Structure 1
Amino acid sequence: MSTAVDAPEAVSAPSPSRRTAGRTGGRTTGLVVGKLLRLLSLLVATVVGIFVLLSYSPVDPVQAYVGADSAALSAEQKAQIAERWGLDDPPLERFGAWAGNLLQGDWGTSQVYGEPVLDVIGERFMASLALMALAWIFSGVLGFILGLVAGARQGRLTDRVLSWFAYTLASSPTFWVGLLLLYVFAVQLQWAPVCCAGPIGALPGEVSLLERLHHLVLPALTLSVVGVSPVLLHTRHATIEALASDQVSFARSQGEKLPGLVLHRVVRNAAAPALMLQFASVGELFGGAVLAEQVFTYPGLGEATTTAAMRQDVPLLMGISIITAVLIFVGNALGDVAHRAVAPQTKEVGA
């Protein structure tokens, strides 16, 4: 008589799709946490470095705050100003007070403008954002198209002219390009206004959109011209590499012409490094905007940065530095995301 043996219960194993999703989710969480830690360390290093440089600057903060009238002030008046802004406190104590207020949401008051730091940044951020966004789009599109043309015409007159153009602009200071454009288009041809974000004497609410764009053209063109060079040169290099690949050689043997090769087989490969480079250039774009706004007296964040540095406005300069560091970090992160979207085969290093 046979005895029935109960079969062991089957243990359900997680499906491969669930395991893959779990690993992907864990890797994504790790990447996000890593990015946030990098951002935090970047912000800490930025504010500490700037505060140390300002604290040990040979410039007298009271004299920088008052300006040319400092010679007419008595010692008692200078002491009152130093006490008002805490300039006579030890640097470590001033930094601790500023950091404590920042953690509570108080960014401080601008010494130069006499307004809360966030209000000063907010008023000028939109003007600089319009300037940098227009220049960023124009330089990226133009640099990518010219890079494709130069790479497709490698060694020919078009390639030599565009390469010379790119290398010349890459070695040209932003303020020099701005002064040249200002002299030609504003002074000689009188096609554009000399300065400002609107007609002189007009209130911000009275300036029309067309007038704003008219005053924005030359500063944006200055930043665009300078920003074209790196995108053009990198796209040219990527185009030359793509055209030398076996895939393109096979397509040539099948009778496909150069325009079709560039459009269908080169653009995608060249777009990935161009996008990553363009997003990573946000920091350089802001640095160029500081110089361009000075040349054209454009009231943006760059002009406020220069004023804060020259007048030793520590709260404002620290606030602008934080905003700038975040923008640069976000730009680099978006460049990485865009690169992965265009080139999905790209893997995270160490993943």
Structure 2
Amino acid sequence: MLLRYIFLRALMLIPVSISISVVIFMIVHLLPGDPIDNLIRVGSSPEDRAALVVKYGLDQPLFVQYFRWVGAMFQGDFGEAIVLRRPVADLIGQNLPYSLQLGALAFLFSSTVGIILGTISATTRSAIVEQFVRGFILLGSTVPGFWLALLMILFFAVQLQWFPVSGARSWESLVLPVLTIGFGGVALVARVTRVALLDVRREDFVMLLHAKGLSSRTILFRHLMPHAMLPVVTILALRIGWILGGAVTVEFVFGRPGLGSLLIRALGQRDYPVVQGCLLMLALAVMLGTLIGDVAQAAMDPRIREAKK
């Protein structure tokens, strides 16, 4: 049953992927300017510009360019960067490991700390601790990532000089970007964990467990947490795509290589194939995270599989 559910959910991603590819292609090509502006030299004639337009197929109708792009992707070819003049697949392959490393550490940080803080907030009897955690959740939910990144650089890198301002040469260069991306994730995961635990604690079976004489620790970790983890697992799976998307501005602010830096540079140059490839990778990460979340939910709760038949 679970395999059938996974197959059906994966099948549903096909029309979604096609729709996303159309949206990405149209948005990129409707932006003002084009990559030819970054290729022609000062004083070039209109004929030189027209020759470059024809060379890169930009004179074709948009639907022709789209189908050529999609057809090449089915053959594993993401095209060639117009300005950088390198295969897009090579550029993505060169920068993706940096984004995955940053995203994995930020995901681990936000998941672990978020679940711990959410559990503390839901189970503590100290008003001070609860108010502190709730204040942290509110702060993390409202502070923009790029603004937090600038504050991190100003305080920890410039003033205290604990960590490098930019680059990716050592593990120290990962600390500030991971904290910046993970901060908002901690707040989100903590809030979901807190609400889920409080909801489960109101169930009748919890009163029965207390009546049986089980300790609060046993009830929490053996009975409450497994029930409360269903929405938490869902939000964590969605964070997979959100983290890679959130890393776009953070990588640029910290001067790190990665998909984010590559995307922003390509946007400035209007390098269509690179922008399309990067956006498609980010979209696939979001869809993959959604699929993982749905499968995890179905594996934890059989009622979801039954409802999806």
TM-score by length of 2: 0.91
Aligned to 1:309: 267
1:178 to 117, 129, 149: 149
* Paired residue type of 2:27: L
Structure 2 letter corresponding to 1:89:
Q
Identical aligned residues as a percent: 31
**Residue 349 in structure 1 maps to residue 307 in structure 2:** yes
C-alpha displacement of 1:155: 7.9
1:166 matched to 2:137? The reply is yes
TM-score of the aligned structures, taking structure 1 as reference length: 0.81
Q: How does 1:290-309 map to 2 (within 5 A)?
A: 290-309=248-267
Higher helix fraction: Structure 1 or Structure 2? Answer: 2
Taking the aligned partners of 1:271 and 1:286, their CA distance within structure 2 comes to: 23
Q: In structure 2, what is the Cα distance between the partners aligned to 1:153 and 1:79? A: 70
| Match of residue 286 from structure 1 | 244
1:251 corresponds to which residue? 209
Q: Could you report, residue by residue, the CA deviation over 1:126-166 in whole angstroms, capped at 9, with x for unpaired residues?
A: 11100000000110111011101101127822122111111
- The aligned amino acid for 2:85 is G
Matching residue of 1:58: 32
Tell me which amino acid in the other structure corresponds to 1:319. G
CA distance in 1, matches of 2:3, 2:20: 27
Cα distance in 2, alignment partners of residues 40 and 264 from structure 1: 39
Find out whether 1:124 has 2:95 as its counterpart: yes
Asked whether the equivalents of residues 6 and 295 of structure 2 are also in contact (C-alpha less than 8 Å), the reply is no
Consecutive unaligned residues in structure 1, runs of 5 or more: 1-23, 199-210
Q: Map 1:100-249 onto structure 2 (within 5 A).
A: 100-153=71-124, 156-198=127-169, 211=170, 213-249=171-207
Whether the 8 Å contact between 2:244 and 2:285 is mirrored in structure 1 is: no
Residue matched to 2:16: 42
Report the residue type matching 1:182 in the other structure: I
2:220 aligns with: 262
Contact 1:197–1:215 under 8 Å retained in 2: yes
The equivalent of 1:321 in structure 2 is: 279
- What is the count of residue pairs matched by the alignment? 309
Structure-2 separation of matches of 1:348 and 1:329: 22
* 3-state DSSP of counterpart to 1:182: helix
Query: What RMSD in Å do the two structures reach over aligned CA positions?
Result: 2.2
Deviations 1:239-273 (A, max 9, x none): 11222222222333444443333222222122222
- Does the CA contact (< 8 Å) of 1:125 and 1:301 recur in 2? yes
2:85 & 2:34 partners in 1: Cα distance? 19
Structure 2 Cα separation of the partners of residues 119 and 237 of structure 1:
44
Summarize deviations over 1:9-29 as a string: whole Å, max 9, x none: xxxxxxxxxxxxxxx4xx743
Distance 2:41 2:76 in 1: 33
Contact 1:231 1:278 survives alignment (8 Å): yes
Which residue of 1 is the match for residue 235 of structure 2?
Answer: 277
Larger gyration radius, structure 1 or structure 2: 1
Q: CA deviation at 1:344?
A: 4.8
1:118 Cα deviation after fit: 0.9
Structure 2 unaligned regions, length at least 5: none
Q: Secondary structure of the residue that 2:179 maps to in structure 1?
A: helix
Judge conservation of contact 1:150–1:163 (CA < 8 Å) in 2.
yes
- Aligned twin of 1:204: none
**Residue equivalent to 1:82:** 53
